[in-house]
Amino acid sequence: ETGVTQSPTHLIKTRGQQVTLRCSSQSGHNTVSWYQQALGQGPQFIFQYYREEENGRGNFPPRFSGLQFPNYSSELNVNALELDDSALYLCASSLMSSGSVETQYFGPGTRLLVL
């Protein structure tokens, strides 16, 4: 198992609400990426944070936002939840060196259900 942890494990929200998901990176890693995995699909890249700044973003609307803290832990915030936001949210930590990101290790995920 990796040293990446996520909380909570499961969450139920209603449409229009806001949610915050948390991720603790593996020791020694400085980069965190967030992915959305819908049922039966591969993970889709939401965004990546390096040194507390967004370092790349996928095709997700601005209501998906994030933070990275000095200890390299991270949050994913989703505002105005929609039914289609129901998915498994994965974070992955890695080490960026020489401008290149090394292997990404995934956390166990947070399963979000929007009713």
Residues near other proteins (CB under 8 A)? 2, 31, 33, 35, 40-45, 48, 50, 55-56, 58, 90, 92, 96, 99-101, 103-109
Supply the DSSP string of 26-75, one letter for each residue: PTT--EEEEEEE-TTS--EEEEEEETTEEEEE-S--TTEEEEE-TTS-EE
Minimum CB distance to other proteins, residue 81 (Å):
23
The DSSP symbol for 91 reads E
Closer residue to other proteins (CB): 51 or 80: 51
Closer residue to other proteins (CB): 43 or 78: 43
Closer residue to other proteins (CB): 15 or 100: 100
Q: Which residue from 14, 15, 57 is spatially nearest to 34, judged by alpha carbons?
A: 57
Closer residue to other proteins (CB): 56 or 61: 56
Residue 11 CA to residue 42 CA, distance in Å, equals 21
Minimum CB distance to other proteins, residue 96 (Å):
7
Minimum CB distance to other proteins, residue 44 (Å):
7
